[in-house]
Structure 1
Amino acid sequence: MTNKQTNRTIVTIGLLTAVFIGALDATVVTTATPSIEAELKGLTLISWIFSIYTLSMCMAMPIFGKLADLYGRKLVFITGLSLFLLGSVLCGFAQSMFDMIWFRAIQGLGAGALTPVTFTIVGDLYTGEKRGRIQGLFASVWSVAGIVGPFVGGYFVDQISWRWIFYMNVPISLITFVLVYGFLHEKVDKVAKKIDYAGAITFTISITCLLLVLLTGGETFPWNSPTIATLTISAITFFSLFLFVEKRAPEPMMPLKLFQQRKLAVIYILGFLMFCIEAGLMLYTPMWSQRVMGHNATTAGFMLMPMSVAWLLASTLSGRLMYRIGVKIFMVLGAFMIVAGGLWLALLNLQSPIGALIGIVMLIGFGMGCMNTPAIVTIQSAVEKEQRGSATSTNSLMNAIGQTVGFALFGMLFNRVVLEKTVDDYATGMHAIFVAMFIIAIINFVIVQGLPSRRSEL
């Protein structure tokens, strides 16, 4: 990377816009799901809109990350941005739920390139203390997008059309393209890197088969049908192959040796569980607001804003105090708050006021913020410098897998319970999901106790 030729400030602005649209897209869609389902038809497929996005992103992340080392950050970033832009436009034109699912997969592939390459470019442009400050700036963009995203999505749904939540990515993507393509200049030194294609392929097939089992078993196909049996066997077989490949790959997609460290294994599992809960919260609390409480999409969008604010506050607080108070204490406190929020969520009923829903998302969001920042710091402190990238990206991958499985698992529960589109039926279906989230929160609380108690071990 040659800083003399690169306009670092302009490129940073371009990267910030890329992170913003990626984070925005993760939140605006949640408030639009009832409108998308009403127009495109396909209530039983609604969770696929989210799970296919995160699945394709999981598959793309390690591949594009390695390609950036081989062919340069700029080329891979622009490729990812182009895929994301194409997927956004196609989603806006979708005429059926199946169209939407395929187009969201294209979007996810693009996001899988944008996320790792953006932070790699930041690492190239900045060093030392400046790098830390800039990374904090990028993290704050995620929080801002989480705050404004649901409101923007709700506004478009109520005032224009849900299709514009995808079309609005076009001008922002074009600005990003101009800023990065025009002002980022690099000298590409091709490094001999081996891309773990086998790991990515076996992992994707395994998770896809698992998702199909969760989303079609007992409804499209009986649980004892040959189709479900075949998918289950395929999921187990390809996951076994994935583990076999990862143990022998020179540069594995998911370095399994990281899981041999107790604290890393615990934190990776916690990340999976946390983002599984987050998936249910993001998708079904706006739906409860609209389908059960009868609010419009704009009001439903406000449901997720307090969670983002609370998450940001807790992340900042834990980052400043965890070395004084203790990492484990903060993470246990966060896990306890998620349990409390999960219990409150499971107790919601048709007469519950909107203030209760706001209190719940704030409580859970604060708990997740208390856990997330200490987890990342612990991961990066537990490994040598040369392993830091792999350890951090593995955490991101576990989070994304948690979201993917969460969307599929809760979608399966919802589809099993909701038989008729009535308020009572919707409430019953979502209540089943909220109880499942509470159970996962309890498991999360139990597992966090496995972290070492002594600060020297964290």
Structure 2
Amino acid sequence: MSPPTTRSSVGLRSERGPILLATMLATGLVAIDSTILATAVPSVVDDLGGFTQFPWLFSVYLLAQAVTVPIYGKVSDLLGRKPVMLLGITLFVLGSVLCGFAWGMTALIIFRALQGLGAGAVQPMAMTIVGDIYSMQERAKVQGYIASVWAISSLVGPTLGGAFADYLSWRAIFFVNLPVGIAAFWMLQRRFTEQVTRRRTTVDWPGATLLTAGGLLLLLALLEGGQRWAWDSGTSIALFVVAAAALVGFVYAETRATDPVLPLWVFRRRTLNAGNLGSLVVGCVMLGLSSYVPLFGEQVLGHGAVVAGLALAAMTLGWPIAASLSGRIYLTLGFRVTVLLGAALAVVGSLLLLTVDGDSSFLHLAAPCFVIGLGFGFVVSPGVVAAQSSVAWQSRGVATGANMFARSVGSAVGVAIFGAVANGVVAGRLGGKVPALEQLDPDVLEPALHTVFVVGAAISVALLLAGALMPRRVTAPAETLPAAPVTDPLKEPAAQPVTTVTDQ
């Protein structure tokens, strides 16, 4: 039978509620970790040293997470979501415990990479499990639950990080993941049952290796270019050249693979391309906001770090509100209208951000971020739902993983673009010298950050293209794969929705 569609069947108190709660807890692990460590970096450096190495605490985590997302997605389509999700939680919790016992900065960086390997499974699997156990109509409401995790984490993370660092120890930041991870693991192990008809296949090792190597080198070049080495340095050029060669080799390998790790048809589906483009642009613009809005509030407007961070939190509050409302819109007016609405809000919010100057109030800075967050919520959540609804079970992990990977690539591109823009403006005003942005006088920093916001507004216009590409309706799938395996958290066979994509 198909999953029930009554209102009572969707909430946390329903029969599927424990599974939804488990995916929320697992998502919370990744969401809180993305913000909790930043406020404790001074304490970590004071204890372990390695000031010049600490940026790798974030870079290596992002790298490990990003390059493994497509691979986990493919594996889940072969073996099922449950084993991949449980593996991800295990790796993340193990990495967290090891981080808590780290004896030096190098060890901490290595263990952060292990955390990233776990996060690469947790985030896409949470969205894929939701796509499996809820219909498209039900996901209109469930997306709000998942989005709320990120909103709460954006507020709780920095506060917990600062409190642990000041009153306990920075190591507690990592140990707090242990009970949350155990609870998520236990609930999924007990309550989530899937019957997977495993088919014989050959492992696409060449494709997986080339995708991992190419993605890793590309993201490394984007994250560290202009920071650890100049863009025109031999290191930077070599990384881009080798990354390009690996990715070209990956495309060739996928054309010959019996069961490719990232099928090239993903890039030929209009619905998937629209959703992936939206995620890529959101990842890029969001990185600019996350990095430079708090800096503007603190260094230019003169607010404390907490208040400056709240301006950015306005964006993460707008996101789940829009994600919760988006379902009603795309179910009545269609996906294209919903994404275009989000794109328009993101562009308007980005333009409003350009009116902020050194004399602006806190609310003047926070309001555009809230509007941009609304836009992101109307773009990302419908994009994921449309992508999942446009394919059958056997391809849903790949489709979700590709969407998440696009956002990670967008974030890395954003690091490169916005960093280069800010440093370029500063260098022009200081005769080629580029000190740390936090050390600049407001009269030098303000025009640099304003230019960053201008570039962000220009990039956000690409969301309108994503909306234009999105089909009005994803009515149901054209999938030529064998019959979908049965996935049912209630241990009863559930018919998977048969859908085909209609590009209208």
Flag the structure with higher helix content.
Answer: 1
User: Does structure 2 conserve the Cα–Cα contact (< 8 Å) formed by 1:44 and 1:411?
Assistant: no
Which amino acid is 1:286 matched to? P
Secondary structure in structure 2 of the residue aligned to 1:232: helix
2:240 aligns to what?
232
Specify whether residues 71 and 376 from structure 1 end up closer, same or farther in structure 2 by C-alpha distance, changes over 3 A only. Answer: closer
1:317 aligns to 2:325 (yes or no): yes
How far does residue 50 in structure 1 lie from its aligned partner after superposition? Answer: 4.1
Describe how 1:347-426 pairs up with structure 2 within 5 A. 347-383=355-391, 386-414=394-422, 417=426, 418-420=434-436, 421-424=439-442, 426=445
Q: Is the 8 A contact 1:304 1:361 kept in 2?
A: yes
Distance 1:385 1:271, change over 3 A: same
Residue of 129, 153, 156 corresponding to 1:152: 156
Larger deviation, residues 13-22 vs 375-384: 375-384
Residues 252-291 of structure 1: matches in 2 within 5 Å?
A: 252-291=260-299
CA distance in structure 2 between the aligned counterparts of 1:96 and 1:407, rounded to whole angstroms: 27
Q: Tell me if the contact between 1:79 and 1:110 (Cα under 8 Å) persists in the aligned partners.
A: yes
Q: Percent identity?
A: 33
Quote the Cα distance in structure 1 between the aligned partners of 2:87 and 2:29. Answer: 16
Mapped contact 1:310–1:362 kept (Cα < 8 A)? yes
Letter matched to residue 442 of structure 1: V
Alignment of 1:140 with 2:144, yes or no, is yes
Q: Judging changes above 3 Å, is the alpha-carbon distance between structure 1 residues 312 and 181 closer, same or farther for their aligned structure 2 residues?
A: closer
Establish whether residue 343 from structure 1 lines up as the match of residue 366 from structure 2.
Answer: no
Alignment partner, residue 55 of structure 1: 63
Of the three residues 437, 446, 449, the one matched with 2:456 is 437
In 1, Cα distance between the equivalents of 2:51 and 2:413? 20
Distance 1:453 1:436, change over 3 A: same
Alignment of structure 1 residues 24-63 onto 2, 5 Å? 24-29=32-37, 42=51, 46=55, 48-63=56-71
Structure 1 spans left out of the alignment, 5+ residues:
1-6
Q: Please point out which of 86, 89, 101 is paired with 2:94.
A: 86
Q: Which residue pairs with 1:331 in the alignment?
A: 339
- Kept in 1, the 8 Å contact 2:65–2:118? The answer is yes
Structural RMSD (CA): 3.7
Q: Could you say what secondary structure the match of 1:245 adopts?
A: helix
C-alpha separation in 1, matches of 2:251 and 2:386: 25
Q: What is the Cα deviation at residue 231 of structure 1?
A: 1.7
Residue matched to 2:315: 307
**1:435 Cα deviation (Å)?**
2.9
How many pairs does the alignment contain? 447
Q: How does 1:38-187 map to 2 (within 5 A)?
A: 42=51, 46=55, 48-68=56-76, 75-92=83-100, 101-118=109-126, 126=133, 133=138, 136-137=141-142, 139-161=143-165, 163-181=171-189
Task: State the alpha-carbon separation in 2 of the partners of residues 254 and 109 from structure 1.
Answer: 18
Cα distance in 2, alignment partners of residues 154 and 177 from structure 1:
25
Distance 1:113 1:391 in 2: 14
After superposition, the Cα gap between the structure-2 partners of 1:258 and 1:182, relative to the gap in structure 1 and judged at 3 Å, is closer
Instruction: Give the stretch that moved more between structures: 399-408 or 186-195.
Output: 186-195
Is the CA contact 1:53–1:107 (under 8 Å) kept in the aligned structure 2? yes
Aligned counterpart for 1:196 among listed residues 182, 204, 207: 204
Question: How far apart, in 2, do the equivalents of 1:341 and 1:260 lie?
Answer: 31
- 1:280-339: per-residue Cα shift (whole Å, max 9, x none)? 223332343344444444434433433233222222333212344343333223212212
Letter paired with 1:422: L
SS of the residue aligned with 2:461? Answer: helix
**Matches of 1:174 and 1:386 in 2, distance apart?**
28
- Distance (Å, rounded) in 1 between the aligned partners of 2:117 and 2:330: 36
Alpha carbons of 1:295 and 1:90: their partners in 2 closer, same or farther (altered >3 Å)?
farther
Structure 1: distance between partners of 2:139 and 2:467: 30
CA distance in 2, matches of 1:59, 1:239: 12
State the alpha-carbon separation in 2 of the partners of residues 151 and 249 from structure 1.
45
SS in 2 for 1:192: coil
Structure 2: give runs of 5+ residues left out of the alignment: 1-14, 427-433, 475-501
Change (3 A) 1:122 1:347: closer
Quote the offset at 1:353 in angstroms.
1.5
The one-character-per-residue Cα deviations of 1:223-247 (angstroms, maximum 9, x if unpaired) are: 4433233222112111111221222
Mapped to 1, the partners of 2:181 and 2:245 lie a distance apart of 40
Structure 1 residues 75 and 206, CA, compared in 2 at 3 Å: closer, same or farther? closer
For 2:226 and 2:410, the matched residues in 1 are separated by 22
In the superposition, the TM-score normalised over structure 1's length comes to: 0.81
CA distance in 1, matches of 2:79, 2:395: 22
* Structure 2 CA distance for aligned equivalents of residues 52 and 90 of structure 1: 15
Q: Which residue of 257, 273, 276 maps to 1:249?
A: 257
